[in-house]
Amino acid sequence: MALILADVGGTNVRFATARGGVIDAPAIRRYRNDNYASFDAALDAYLKTAGVGQVAGLTVAVAGPVNGTRARLTNRGWDFDTAELSEKYGNAPAHLLNDLSALGYALDSLDEEGAQVVLPADIHSDDQRLVVGAGTGFNVSPVLGSGAQTVCLRAEAGLTSLPSRVQQILEEYIGGPASWVRCAEDAVRGPGLAELHSAATGTPLIDASDVMAAAGAGDADALASTLVYARMLGAFIQDLRLLYMPSGGIYLAGSVVRGLLSSPARETFVETLKGQPTVKQNMQPLRVSVITQDEAALLGCLAYARSMG
């Protein structure tokens, strides 16, 4: 019998099995969502490939709002229901959590390689931490610690309104309102960089990764867009710092964040994070790290499954 773990993003889903409280590393698989009509279809393909017979339980992290026993993937029409999952797999217990919450539950399992420091600072208290994820979508997970217990609160920061300090940077660069920005994540997720660059240059949309690659290759327009995006994301994180007061540090995650930190805009991004988030009070420096372990969300799913018994 195996515990099935799943990390469902807007572009890919990653599966793993765990037995005896340990993830079977060779059985970790990643599938592209475009190749499957539903999560169930992708899961069935994984179970066949991994040779899983009886399912002991399922813990699924979803890149979208989780409402108790139901969830929906924000950037794709996939729905999740714990009762349906449980019934389909022999009444095995099933649990849902947000994908950023999964990263929050993984923090205590990561070593220095799994969470690398970007902006050093002393930790004055580790009872409050914050995970910030920017990829196909955008969200946060406030992580609260009390003794040996860790609790990750639900949040959907990407669906809120765009902060005025970020909007000002954006509009100054493109010369007016951004028609594609309906909520905060539209500006600061990966496709937001693609839209930003297209609007500023009048060129067709290309992937955010291609914009960053062009910036690294010396394209002046791509570099300008990437630098502006770095300032926007850094400014938004400053707002999030005030909202959640993460005295134990901020942990960045997602393909776009990692790409940005490997681009020529790294220094601009880090310098923006160093700035004071408010003019009303002088706040202490805050440690910022980046989660680099690809299996981090799966580790978080396992930790959550343990906490649920």
28 and 99 share a domain? Answer: yes
| Confidence tier at 219 by pLDDT (50, 70, 90) | very high
- pLDDT on residue 214: 97
Is 299 within 8 Å of 308 (Cβ atoms)? no
Q: What is the mean pLDDT of residues 119-127?
A: 86
| Confidence tier at 50 by pLDDT (50, 70, 90) | confident
- pLDDT on residue 61: 95
| Confidence tier at 154 by pLDDT (50, 70, 90) | confident
Q: Looking at the predicted structure, is the pLDDT value of residue 126 above 80?
A: no
Q: Looking at the predicted structure, is the pLDDT value of residue 124 above 80?
A: no
- pLDDT on residue 234: 97
- pLDDT on residue 236: 97
9 and 143 share a domain? Answer: no
152 and 285 share a domain? Answer: yes
285 and 149 share a domain? Answer: yes
62 and 122 share a domain? Answer: no
143 and 86 share a domain? Answer: no
Q: What's this model's pTM, rounded to 2 decimal places?
A: 0.90
278 and 153 share a domain? Answer: yes
Neighbour tally for 81: CB within 10 Å: 15
87 and 38 share a domain? Answer: yes
- pLDDT on residue 72: 85
- Span between the terminal Cα atoms of the chain, in Å: 16
| Confidence tier at 76 by pLDDT (50, 70, 90) | confident
7 and 127 share a domain? Answer: no
101 contact partners, CB below 8 Å, separation of at least 6: 61, 66, 141, 152, 153, 154, 300, 304
- pLDDT on residue 275: 92
Query: Which CATH number do you get for residue 195?
Result: 3.40.367.20
144 and 212 share a domain? Answer: yes
Query: Which CATH number do you get for residue 91?
Result: 3.30.420.40
Q: What is the mean pLDDT of residues 128-141?
A: 93
120 and 245 share a domain? Answer: yes
Q: Looking at the predicted structure, is the pLDDT value of residue 262 above 80?
A: yes
- pLDDT on residue 53: 78
For residue 173, what are the domain limits? 113-291
| Confidence tier at 307 by pLDDT (50, 70, 90) | confident
221-259: per-residue pLDDT in tens?
999 999 999 999 999 999 999 999 999 999 999 999 999
34 and 8 share a domain? Answer: yes
| Confidence tier at 281 by pLDDT (50, 70, 90) | confident
The domain tally of the chain equals 2
| Confidence tier at 147 by pLDDT (50, 70, 90) | confident
Q: Looking at the predicted structure, is the pLDDT value of residue 46 above 90?
A: yes
